[in-house]
Copies of this chain bind each other. A is one copy, B any other.
Amino acid sequence: MRGNSFGKAFNITTFGESHGPALGVIIDGCPPGIDIDENFIQSEMDRRKPGQSAIVTQRKEGDVVEILSGVFEGKTTGTPLSMLIRNTNQKSKDYSHIADKFRPSHADFTYQKKYGLRDYRGGGRSSARETAARVAAAAIAKLILAKEGIQINGYVSRVGNISFSGALDDSNIPNIEKTPVRCPDLEVAQQMEDLIREVRKEGNTIGGIVSCNINGVPPGLGEPVFDKLHADLGKAMLSINAAKGFEYGSGFEGTFMKGSEHNDAFVIEDGKAKTATNYSGGIQGGISNGMPIYFNVAFKPVATIMQDQQSIDQNMEEQTIKGKGRHDPCVLPRAVPIVEAMAALVLVDHWLRQKTI
């Protein structure tokens, strides 16, 4: 009812506030016998964590994952796999100035209205810090998917008006992690980085798009009516902080097309069924067809800016809020591992669900 769980067969429940003692996650539904590579889990955490480069927030968080259950002698046991991430760098005093004020386009006002009270420190539960728990759970999901040959690659395809519109392929995938912006074209990446630096100098923020490609998905994943594969991917992506839109396959652009142009003709290639084009984005009728899945996620400019803003307080009086603290001028680079994480959680869930057919 409170929506802190995700997935039906590979079910995760996260907990934790940005400035509480810890964050964490329970995975209920992890199959037994999976080899747990703790270095891989930590490397995924490191991709998400703040302070990685000059263009993201300089807060330092260790984001060290401790596995508390569900693993025995290096393998999953089939019982709940829980992971703990201690918060070690909270500075609650940074937030006393907003204890009774509502930051524009943040969740302060809506939490207060929903619950009647709120943990105002760093946004509490509404902080993107919660996604650390998702990334930890998704690292396990990725270990399972890798064994099935399913590969997920997220990347930044646009920052403001600087965009990469090429295709992702084996030649540029290795570039993604080479630059702090995570764009597969190194030149475009440099332009994006320049833009982000410029925006940061103004005490401002900027939005953009994270794209994601998924290869190796077998046909048959996804459920036909409400839990269509793309509907679950859409919900997963829209549940990420600052996400404003989702499109898959031909997306919004495809709506200008005619059916005769948009339909993906089936062909036989090397004795296997394929489609000549892939406007469907690898999903037809909500079920994977074996072709690559691809989608875009829109992220707004983050709400915390280093400029004064008009707002109100709990007494319904107008107030000016001053920008303070250590924040991301652009959420896109750090959103890449989170987008991949949510994709992995959706895919592993549907892969397990399909076993009951």
Contact = CB atoms under 8 A, between A and B. Distances in A.
B257 A207 contact: yes
B119 A5 contact: no
Interface in A303-357: 303-305, 307, 309-312, 316-318, 352-357
A225 B115 contact: no
Contact of A16 (B68, B113, B235): B68
B311 A14 contact: no
Contacts of A245: 245-248, 251-252, 255
Q: How many copies does the complex hold?
A: 4
Contact of A161 (B1, B256, B312): B256
Given A234-B238, A256-B161, A259-B302, A15 B68 contact: yes
Interface stretch (A46-54, A146-154, A285-293): A285-293
Contact of A29 (B2, B72, B161): B2
A26 interface: yes
The 6 closest A-B pairs by CB, nearest first: A107-B285, A3-B227, A245-B247, A3-B223, A205-B259, A207-B255
Given A32-B357, A241-B285, 17 more contacts: A4-B80, A13-B26, A15-B79, A15-B81, A21-B67, A77-B117, A109-B266, A114-B222, A130-B225, A158-B255, A199-B258, A252-B252, A252-B298, A257-B301, A263-B309, A265-B311, A268-B316
12 contacts: A5-B5, A17-B72, A24-B69, A79-B119, A110-B284, A113-B219, A206-B257, A209-B255, A228-B239, A231-B239, A259-B302, A262-B301
